[in-house]
Structure 1
Amino acid sequence: MAYDLQITTTSSKQTKPDQTQLGFGKYYTDHMFIMDYETSQGWYNPRIVPFQNITLHPAAKVFHYGQTVFEGLKAYRTKDNRILLFRPEQNMKRLNHSNERLCIPAIPEEFMIHALKELVKLDQEWVPSEEGTSLYIRPYVISTEPSLGVSPSNHYQLLIIMSPVGAYYAEGIQPVKIFVEDHYVRAVQGGTGTAKTAGNYAAGLRAQGGANEKGYSQVLWLDGVDRKYIEEVGSMNVFFKINGEVVTPVLNGSILDGITRRSVIQLIKHLGYNVTERRISIEEIYEAHANGTLEEAFGTGTAVVISPISEFSWKDQQITINDGKIGELAGNLYYTLTGIQFGNIEDPFGWTVEVK
C-alpha cells in the first residue's frame, strides 16, 4: 500500500535551547509525525504537523489497559555537518515485535523510515553540534479507542516526537554503582519483558527509587523465578568480562533485545574477543570477583551507549570492579561505537544511514 505523506510546517519556530544545557527530554522540536489506524482502513493519514498537544477521549484504552509501545533512537551531526541515523531499520523491526506482543497492528516499516527521515530533515536545525549531543527520536503507538471493554483497541495513533539531548557523560565517560534487586521483579518469561512497552518501565520505578536512595545509579534485575539469574541493568543490557571472555545474559523471553546490545556483540567479535550469550547467576559474578577473574562489567543502551560498572551491592555485600576504573574493553567499545555514530571513524558494518 502506498502512503501519501502530508507535511504542514509551522510559521512560528521555537528558540533553540543552549546546547550545553540540554539535559534529556526537556525540549522538543518544531514538528512531529502522526499516523492513524482504524480496523477497517488499516494505517492511514500519515502527516508531519507542527508540534502540538494531542486530545484523547477519557476512556481511550491506553489510559486503562496500557496498550502502548515505543522506541528510542538518535540522529547525530557529524563534523562535516551531515546527519546520521543509527540502524533505524532495527528500531522499526523491534517496534513491530513489541506491537505483536501487545496486540497492536504492525506498522509499515519501510514507509516509517521514509517518514522519519523527512521529519529529521525538516527539523535538522535541531540536531545539536556540541560534543556528545544528539537528537533523540521517540516513535510510539497508543491505543485510542474510547471503550472500557478489556480487549485490543480498534483505533491507534502512531507518533514520532524528537528532543535534542545533551551528552550522557557531561564530564566524560564515568563508571556507575549498581544495586542488585532481589525483591521486586521487572519481568518474567511469557510476560512483556521482550516488548518495549510502558508497563515494563513503570514496574521498575519502585526499585529504582530505592536504589537511588541508597546512593546507586541503577538496578540490576534478577530473573523473576529463581531470583538468581542476571537479566538487565535498569533500562540497559549488561555484559561482563570474566577471565578474558565476554559474557552477556542470553535472550530468554524476559530480556529486551537491545539494538545497542546487538551492535556491541558484533563489535566485540570484530575486535577479536570471544563473546558468549548464556545464563549468568549473580553468585557466579561474586565468585569471579572473589577469585580475581572478574575484569569488567558494563551496560549498553541507546541513551548511554556504554556504561562502565564500578560496583555491585547484593545482600549488603559490595564488590568493586577493576578498582572502580573504566575497563579497557568498555572504553574501546564506547569510543568506537560513538565514533561510528558521529561519523568520526569508518563504519565497516553499514550501520549508519545519512539523512539527505
Structure 2
Amino acid sequence: MHDNSGPILAFRYYGNMAPCLKYNIVPTSHVECTYSPTRSFWSAPTVINNPNLQINGFAVGLNYGGPYYESLTARRTRDDRILLFRPHDHARHLADAATAVGMTAVPEHIFLECVRKAVAVNTSYVPPPQTDAVLYIRPLLFGPSVPRIRDSPAQYIFCVFVQPGAVYPRTAAQNAIVLSDSGADDVPTAAETQKCSRTETWDEGWKRGLGGTGQLDGRQAERDDYTMKLHLENTRHGSFIKGFTASAFIGVQEEHGRYTLMVPRHPSRSIISDSCVAIARQLGWKVKVGPISVDDIDTLSEVIATSTWHWLLPIRLIFCPSARQTVVYHAGSHKAGSACRVLRNAIGKIMGGEVSDIWQWCVLVTQED
C-alpha cells in the first residue's frame, strides 16, 4: 500500500551538522488510527516503527474501492522549525472524499494529530533548509477488514506515512500532449477528483496498455517524449481544459507586464493551484476562474502544472493531435517563465517560513507532538 516505487533522495539531519544524503528507501515510522463502527470511536494514534502495512488480501480497501489519500509536505526553516503546509485544507479534502463514498470521515483534529505525530517521530528525516527538499506526507484512509456485507466494512484505518525527498526533479519546462478527444478524456485528473488509488498513478498504467482509446495516445506520448498529458472536457459547446493527469492546470496571460491567471473550474481541489490564486490576487494580478477552451491555449503566455510533488512545473509546448497544432511558449525555452518563477518563489518562501504567513497556511510541528 505504501507508494515506494523506487529509490529516492534520502536525508538524515543532525541539527547543525552537515546532512547525510543517499539514494535509498528510508525506514521511517508511520502512524495508525482505527475507527470501529460498533463503538463509533477512533482509537488513539499509534506509532509503528516501519513504513509497512499488514492487510488481508480480501480487505475492502483493496477490492471494493479506495484507499483515499492526500499528499502534503513539511519543511525545515532556517531557524530549525518544522512547518506543515496547509494541513487543515488537506484534512477537509480527505473528509470530503470519504463522505462522498459513504466512508467515515476522519475528524480534522484527528487528521492533524496523526500528521503532526508522524512528522514528530521522523524529525531527523526532515531535510535541512539549504536543500530544495521536503518531507512528503501521505495520509491514507481505507477499509482493512473482510466484511460480512461487501459494502459495510467493519472498520477503517487512517494511516500517515512520510518519506524525505527532493522536490520532483523535472524543473525544466516539459512537453505536453492533448489526449485523444474520444475515450481518453474520461480519465479523471488530480485537480478534478477526490484522490483515490484509482487515479494518478493507476491512470498512467491504464494509458500504457490496459485498454481504451487512451492507450494509443499514452504510448505515442511516451515515444514522442511528451511527459505531460492534458485532458479535456467535451461538451456541446466545445472542448474545455480539465487538467493534467496528475497535476492541475494554470494558464497565464501577460500584457505589458501585467499578469492574468486562467484557472479551470474548482481550483480549490488543488492546494497548490489554490495557493497560486491567493498569491496572485495578493500581488495585484487578475484571476479568471472558469472554463478554458482548448482553442485558447495559443492566447496564453505561460502554462504551469501544479502539484505537491513538483509545486509549479512550466510547460514548454502543447501538442494537439486532432488539430495537428503545436503551441510553443517562450520560444521553446526550457526555463520557467516569469510568472511561474514569481509564484514558485513565493510559495517556497511561505513553506520555508521566510516570509510572513498572512493566510496562516503553515502549522508548526515539534518533537513533543
TM-score range, shorter chain: 0.7 to 0.9
Aligned to 2:265: 250
CA distance 1:271–1:15, shift in 2 (3 Å): closer
* Deviation (angstroms), 1:66: 2.1
RMSD of the TM alignment (CA)?
2.6
* Aligned partner letter, 2:278: Q
**SS of aligned partner of 1:40:** coil
C-alpha distance in structure 2 between counterparts of 1:276 and 1:15, whole Å:
40
String of CA shifts for 1:145-201, please: whole Å, max 9, x gaps. 21485424232111011000113237xx42111111124134469xx9431111122
C-alpha distance in structure 2 between counterparts of 1:319 and 1:167, whole Å:
27
Does residue 1:72 correspond to 2:80, yes or no? no
Does residue 1:218 correspond to 2:210, yes or no? no
Does residue 1:339 correspond to 2:353, yes or no? no
Does residue 1:302 correspond to 2:300, yes or no? no
Map 1:17-56 → 2, pairs under 5 A:
20-22=21-23, 27-42=25-40, 43-56=42-55
- Of 254, 277, 294, 1:265 maps to 277
C-alpha distance in structure 1 between counterparts of 2:268 and 2:149, whole Å:
29
* Aligned partner letter, 1:267: I
Aligned to 2:319: 313
**SS of aligned partner of 1:106:** coil
**Cα pair 1:141 1:158 within 8 Å, conserved:** yes
C-alpha distance in structure 2 between counterparts of 1:20 and 1:231, whole Å:
38
Q: Which is further off, 113-122 or 311-320? A: 113-122
* Aligned partner letter, 1:304: H
String of CA shifts for 1:253-286, please: whole Å, max 9, x gaps. xx88011111110001111110011111111213
* Aligned partner letter, 1:250: R
Structure 2 gaps of 5+ residues are: 1-9, 14-18, 209-217
- When normalised by structure 1's length, the TM-score is 0.84
**Cα pair 1:186 1:200 within 8 Å, conserved:** no
C-alpha distance in structure 2 between counterparts of 1:273 and 1:239, whole Å:
14
* Deviation (angstroms), 1:20: 4.9
Alignment length, in residue pairs? 327
- When normalised by structure 2's length, the TM-score is 0.81
C-alpha distance in structure 2 between counterparts of 1:335 and 1:319, whole Å:
26
C-alpha distance in structure 2 between counterparts of 1:233 and 1:103, whole Å:
27
C-alpha distance in structure 1 between counterparts of 2:268 and 2:198, whole Å:
13
* Aligned partner letter, 1:214: D
Aligned to 2:340: 330
**SS of aligned partner of 1:137:** strand
* Deviation (angstroms), 1:53: 2.9
Aligned to 1:232: 243
**SS of aligned partner of 1:331:** helix
- Of 291, 299, 304, 1:279 maps to 291
C-alpha distance in structure 1 between counterparts of 2:263 and 2:53, whole Å:
40
CA distance 1:296–1:15, shift in 2 (3 Å): closer
**Cα pair 1:140 1:160 within 8 Å, conserved:** yes
Q: Which is further off, 328-337 or 150-159? A: 150-159
Does residue 1:241 correspond to 2:252, yes or no? yes
Structure 1 gaps of 5+ residues are: 1-13, 289-293
C-alpha distance in structure 2 between counterparts of 1:338 and 1:85, whole Å:
12
* Deviation (angstroms), 1:302: 0.9
**SS of aligned partner of 1:239:** strand
**SS of aligned partner of 2:199:** helix
**SS of aligned partner of 2:45:** strand
